[in-house]
Amino acid sequence: MPIVEPNLDEAILEAVERGLLTATTEMPHASVYLIAVPTPFRGDHEPDLRHVRAATEAIAPQLRGGEVVILESTSPPGTTERISEWISDLRPDLKLPHMGGIPDVHLAHCPERVLPGRIMVEIFTNDRVVGGLTPECAERAAELYRTFVAGEIVLTDATSAEMAKLTENAFRDVNIAFANELAEICDHLEVDVWEVISMANHHPRVNILQPGPGVGGHCIAVDPWFIVSAAPEQARLIRAARETNDARPRTVLTKVAEAVAASGHSGGFGDSFSDSGGDSDSAGAGDSDGVGVTIACLGLAFKADIDDLRESPALAITETLAAEHPDARILAVEPHVSRLPATLAALPNVELVSTQEALREAQVVVLLVDHAAFRAISLGELRGRQLVDTRGIWRREAVA
Ligand SMILES: NC(=O)c1ccc[n+]([C@@H]2O[C@H](COP(=O)([O-])OP(=O)(O)OC[C@H]3O[C@@H](n4cnc5c(N)ncnc54)[C@H](O)[C@@H]3O)[C@@H](O)[C@H]2O)c1
């Protein structure tokens, strides 16, 4: 099992042992097909449907009539209908749902909402949206989900189902962007964003999220672009949220520059990094100006307490820091991985070290992910270091 997911290993093993699950690289005939292939974007954030198309083209020759094809991949509006058209191009002998009338093959979209780490619970308990190209398509697909889903099954049309899933992730992205924009505003006004949000959240109908170094993962940072691409004139707020969140890593890099300058170790950075002046009184370990600075980057994952580095802003920040400043020594700390990802391993000035070693060696400590292991660090261990805390965890400790 290549995927780290509680209880999945046992479930797969049992299904294989009972003869209920086999794997093949040849497309078999089946009464129900689930398409759950990647849906990335390319170029200027245009959806890349080539995997969905390849899967569809593999399924098409197998169809005999009576099958249900369900798209589970998070997809741009209209993708389920395009699958219907693609099949129709390859199989003019079949009547597909987009053609009207009673189809030979039923097509529906049922977006997946499971949270990695809780998949084997949520796959049963979550509510499901099932959108058919026709009401009969939705009903036929829902029959499958009723066999194992304990949550509610909500029937709709395919495009509404596609939009519902994208809306869930865009909602999250816009709310995170709001918190990130507040961070920029509060920095400008020299007030503490964490305190401002905490006070605002005392209002009974306000629940602002926490700012951070950007948005990662292969869902929230990707899916809103599918809405922007489908309705560029209308999706102004959703686009602005994406741009706000994508700009956060650069803001963090500027803060690191200021911290390096304040540490008195700016020499290793050269002139390009910062000209904001230094205060060698506040320097931590090591002490002479002109010596390459050592920076600890705490966390590489895209969110707390997981090992997933996909689309991670923490990883991007660490890479940029190391690549743009080859004289700086970068100590990456990621308790959830045992070796550096290839992009960092290729850089000669980056090492993967323990939290203790990083705190001992670094003059500048950059907190990028609020892993539990980092929340356990006491302020005493950070004394004398320049801190860039993108998650506000040490600030909260200082206040508590
Ligand atoms: N992982 C999640 O938690 C999650 C949650 C909700 C939605 N989704 C959505 O589900 C989709 C898949 O995500 P994932 O994380 O499982 O991706 P993944 O890259 O981990 O897995 C996709 C699988 O599809 C296979 N594949 C690619 N092309 C194929 C083809 N033509 N025929 C057959 N198989 C093919 C790949 O070999 C791979 O095993 C995406 O649209 C994603 O946005 C994922």
pLDDT in tens, 219-271: 999 999 999 999 999 999 999 999 999 999 999 999 999 999 999 876 455 54
Nearest CA to ligand 1 atom 27: 37
Q: Say how far apart CA 197 and CA 217 lie, in whole Å.
A: 24
Q: Identify the DSSP state of 290.
A: T
Question: What does pTM read for this prediction?
Answer: 0.89
pLDDT at 394: 86
Q: Say how far apart CA 223 and CA 83 lie, in whole Å.
A: 19
- Just give the CATH number of 166-237: 1.10.1040.10
Does this chain's domain 8-165 share its CATH topology with 249-399?
yes
Q: At 354, give phi and psi (nearest 5°).
A: -75, 165
Q: What is the atom index within ligand 1 of the atom nearest the CA of 54?
A: 31
Q: How far is the CA of 223 from the centre of ligand 1 (A)?
A: 14
**Active-site position among 110, 137, 219, 297:** 219
Question: What are the tens digits of pLDDT across the range 135-163?
Answer: 999 999 999 999 999 999 999 999 999 99
Give the DSSP H/E element, type plus range, for residue 156. strand 153-157
Side chain identity, residue 12: I
Q: How far is the CA of 363 from the centre of ligand 1 (A)?
A: 42
Looking at CATH, the fold of the domain delimited by 8-165 is given as Rossmann fold (3.40.50)
Checking if the pLDDT of 299 tops 90, the result is: yes
Q: How far is the CA of 193 from the centre of ligand 1 (A)?
A: 37
- Just give the CATH number of 249-399: 3.40.50.720
| CA neighbor of 165 nearest in space, from 142, 131, 133, 125 | 131
Q: Identify the DSSP state of 204.
A: T
Q: How far is the CA of 326 from the centre of ligand 1 (A)?
A: 36
- State both tokens at 334: 């990621």
Q: Is 39 in the pocket of ligand 1 (CB under 6 A)?
A: yes
Give the DSSP H/E element, type plus range, for residue 350. strand 350-352
Break the chain into its structural domains and give their ranges: 8-165, 166-237, 249-399
- Name, in order, each residue with C-beta under 8 angstroms of 386's C-beta and a sequence gap of 6 or more: 259, 260, 262, 263, 282, 283, 284, 363, 364, 365
- Name, in order, each residue with C-beta under 8 angstroms of 26's C-beta and a sequence gap of 6 or more: none
Q: Say how far apart CA 82 and CA 52 lie, in whole Å.
A: 10
Nearest CA to ligand 1 atom 33: 55
**Interval 379-386 mean pLDDT:** 92
Q: Residue 151 in contact with residue 127, Cβ under 8 Å?
A: yes
**Active-site position among 165, 186, 255, 297:** 165
Checking if the pLDDT of 399 tops 70, the result is: no
Q: Where are the alpha helices (DSSP H) in 60-105?
A: 79-90
